[in-house]
Amino acid sequence: MITFRKATEKDTALILKFLRELASYEKMIDEFAVTETMFKDWFFVKKKAEVIFVCEDDKEAGLAVFFYNFSTFDGDPGIYIEDLFVLPEYRHKGYGKSLFKKIAEIAVERHCGRVEFMCLNWNKSSVDFYLSLGAKQMSDRTLYRVDGNTLTDLAEI
């Protein structure tokens, strides 16, 4: 039976485990620098993002990390999914779709106008999954990032 539950502070180590596996899957484990303390602070003390789990018989099978964004053109909030990940042994059972549907339900309940996310271009199985849900690629936009020393330098200008 599929259930969902909101993560609590007691889940910090489990969240770290899931996201470390995601970083490995995405071939980005060398960039994974977060700690339990950081997750605890940002998710449960400062409440800057939320985590929900999809569970099979009370065992966590996947998770989604999300937070609010805002459209100044539409005048409403949206939900941005930072990560959506299902453990390999639970894939192809509909858990990813169920988790995505749950995020959509949360967005509707909270009067959000959209759900947004990114997907690595090489990740064909995930791209195909998102397209199968009716997601559309935003071909008129490109994600840009300022980080690290460039961010620090920019702040000092």
Of 79, 66, 63, nearest to 115 by C-alpha is 79
pTM: 0.91
Among this protein's residues, is 25 annotated catalytic? no
The string of pLDDT tens digits covering residues 106-120 is 999 999 999 999 998
pLDDT single digits (tens) 37-81: 999 999 999 999 999 999 999 999 999 999 999 999 999 999 999
Q: Which residues have CB under 8 Å from 71's CB, separation 6+?
A: 77, 78, 113, 114
Query: What dihedral angle (degrees, nearest 10) is formed by the CA atoms of 63, 108, 45, 116?
Result: 60
3-state class (DSSP) for residue 12 = helix
Mean pLDDT for the stretch of residues 86-100 = 96
User: What is the pLDDT confidence band of residue 104, given thresholds at 50, 70 and 90?
Assistant: very high
Give me the catalytic one of 80, 95, 130, 144: 130
Place of tokens 């271009």: 121
